């Protein structure tokens, strides 16, 4: 008989930390840069009438001999209408040798942490090492996780939080100050947040620019997290005229990432993309070269992140005897 491990959300939370997420995502990027993954482009579609979208990602990672699939839905009315999270996901991973399922687990926690970790890894290789001030644009769940990921690699002294919803950004500032011990300040002018920051994180569902070129100082690093579908946008395209642009997957980012906008408007071309993050993590390209460079990491989310993260959660759960086993055959 072959057992499949089932992990609920609470169990996933027990076995998968931000440190796990950062290590798993970095390993996935390195394997990508070494050409040891299969990573098809994501499939995304809007669900008419329900303010929702569905994202499907899949991948294979040679070093883990593991393949997997994540099905995630973003339904933005869920908290008010149904008392449910806005994002709900499920991840399945399988043995790469024979396709036998290894685990089925909650993808909401694992997926959210791997997204936070993607920004953390991007900043590790692209931001100035002495970066200490962060602007968080968008104070939802990802605004929280992106900050937690940055705190693993940077000595952050101050955080500037902006969200169009004043109550939400105020609550964020209070919560994250208490949680992290770092001073988090709620600002009502986004320009003030960006202009004072060493690292800027955009984590919103915006469809027009919320960060503008003349706000961004030399030496700033930007993690562009929110754009993951056609029509989404968080950055002024003119930023890319000054910036070193790094993407998680060229073809995918050109279609659905932040970089779709400056390319469409003719500000830059596809040839202006400096590198994929995997090339930098694998040591094939240099990351930041000068202190005054502006760098942008366009993170759309990859199946390899989900597979690596889920595999780490699976191994941790097995080692700690957490989760429910069911006989599959």
Q: Tell me which of 70, 124, 232, 244 is the catalytic residue.
A: 70
Which residues are CB-contacts of 22 (< 8 A; sequence separation ≥ 6)? 117, 120, 121, 149, 152, 153
Q: What backbone phi and psi angles, to 5 degrees, belong to 320? A: -105, 5
Question: Which of 270, 278, 274 has the alpha carbon at shortest distance from 304?
Answer: 278
Query: Given the structure tokens 């596809």, which residue do they identify?
Result: 270
Question: Which of 62, 70, 53 has the alpha carbon at shortest distance from 104?
Answer: 70
Is 70 marked active-site? yes
81 burial class (0-12, 13-18, 19+ CB within 10 angstroms)?
A: exposed
- Is residue 263 within 8 A of residue 189, CB to CB? The reply is no
User: Cα separation of 6 and 34, whole Å?
Assistant: 31
Strand partners, 101: 94
Report which secondary-structure segment, H or E, holds 17.
none
- What positions carry a catalytic annotation? 70
């Amino acid at each position: 008989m072959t057992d499949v491990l089932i992990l609920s959300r609470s169990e996933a939370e027990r076995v998968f930390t931000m440190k796990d997420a950062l290590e798993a995502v970095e390993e996935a990027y390195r394997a990508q840069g070494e050409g040891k993954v299969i990573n098809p482009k994501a499939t995304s579609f809007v669900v008419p009438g329900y303010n929702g979208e569905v994202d499907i990602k899949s991948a294979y990672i040679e070093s883990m001999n593991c393949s997997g699939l994540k099905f995630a839905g973003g339904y933005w009315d869920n908290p008010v209408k149904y008392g449910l999270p806005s994002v709900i996901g499920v991840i399945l991973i399988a043995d790469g040798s024979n396709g036998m399922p290894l685990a089925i687990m909650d993808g909401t926690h694992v997926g959210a942490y791997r997204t936070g970790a993607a920004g953390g890894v991007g900043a590790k290789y692209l931001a100035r090492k002495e970066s200490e001030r962060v602007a968080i644009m968008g104070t939802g769940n990802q605004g929280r996780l992106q900050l937690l990921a940055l705190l693993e690699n940077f000595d952050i002294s101050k955080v500037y939080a902006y969200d169009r919803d004043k109550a939400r950004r105020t609550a964020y500032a209070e919560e994250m100050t208490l949680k992290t011990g770092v001073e988090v300040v709620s600002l009502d002018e986004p320009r003030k947040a960006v202009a004072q920051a060493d690292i800027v994180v955009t984590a919103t569902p915006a469809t027009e620019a919320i960060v503008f070129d003349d706000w961004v100082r030399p030496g700033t690093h930007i993690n562009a997290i929110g754009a993951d579908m056609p029509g989404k946008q968080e950055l002024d395209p003119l930023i890319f005229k000054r910036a070193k642009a790094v993407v998680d997957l060229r073809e995918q980012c050109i279609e659905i990432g932040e970089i779709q906008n400056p390319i469409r408007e003719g500000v830059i071309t596809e040839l202006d993309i400096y590198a994929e993050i995997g090339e930098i993590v694998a040591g094939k390209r240099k990351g930041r070269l000068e202190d005054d460079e502006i760098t942008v990491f366009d993170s759309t989310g990859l199946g390899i992140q989900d597979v690596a993260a889920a595999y780490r959660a699976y191994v941790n759960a097995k080692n700690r005897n957490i989760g429910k086993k069911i006989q599959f055959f």
